[in-house]
Amino acid sequence: MDIDQTDRRILKHLQENCDISLDALGSAVNLSRNACWRRIKLLGEAGIIKRKVTLLDAEALGLGLNVFIQVRTDQHDSNWSTKFARATKVMPEIQGVYRMSGDLDYLIRARVADMKDYDRLYQKLTASVPLADVSASFVMEEIKDTTALPI
């Protein structure tokens, strides 16, 4: 699907607030509400809009510790990779898992309540799959945290 400037403006607004009314969105991008609805529908069908979610305040929900977990493994076969992926996907504390280039094999982003909660996650992770090395970095200050893509 070719994305034009109007689609980009629609997507920019939806990234900021997916609950915006079609009337307000149409007004912001200079289209009728029906034209906006059609474009949004097409963007969804094309897979450009993957899903609509509500972003929550982690601190307000008692999940004040943001942690990046660096994982190294000495196993790189598909069985281990499948087991690692399955294990991390079912842990709700884990928000992102990324296979990396360079010295690091995987980077995990997780949200937990505190150090005790992190330790529980660490114990669960290391019991699920054999890992060569695990280290963690704890976020002291969130300077920028966004889900918006630069479109």
pLDDT digits (tens, 9 = 90+) for 52-106: 999 999 999 999 999 999 999 999 999 999 999 999 999 999 999 999 999 999 9
Letter for the amino acid at 127? A
**Which whole-number Å values give the CA distances from 151 to 5, 19, 139, in the listed order?**
10, 19, 27
Task: Supply the mean pLDDT for the chain.
Answer: 97
Q: Mean pLDDT across the stretch 15-25?
A: 96
Query: What domains does the chain contain, in order, with CATH numbers?
Result: 5-45 (1.10.10.10), 65-138 (3.30.70.920)
List of residues 6+ apart from 69 with CB closer than 8 A: 107, 108, 109, 110, 122, 125, 134, 135, 136
Q: Quick one: pLDDT at residue 103? A: 93
**Which whole-number Å values give the CA distances from 125 to 65, 92, 130, 134, in the listed order?**
17, 12, 9, 10
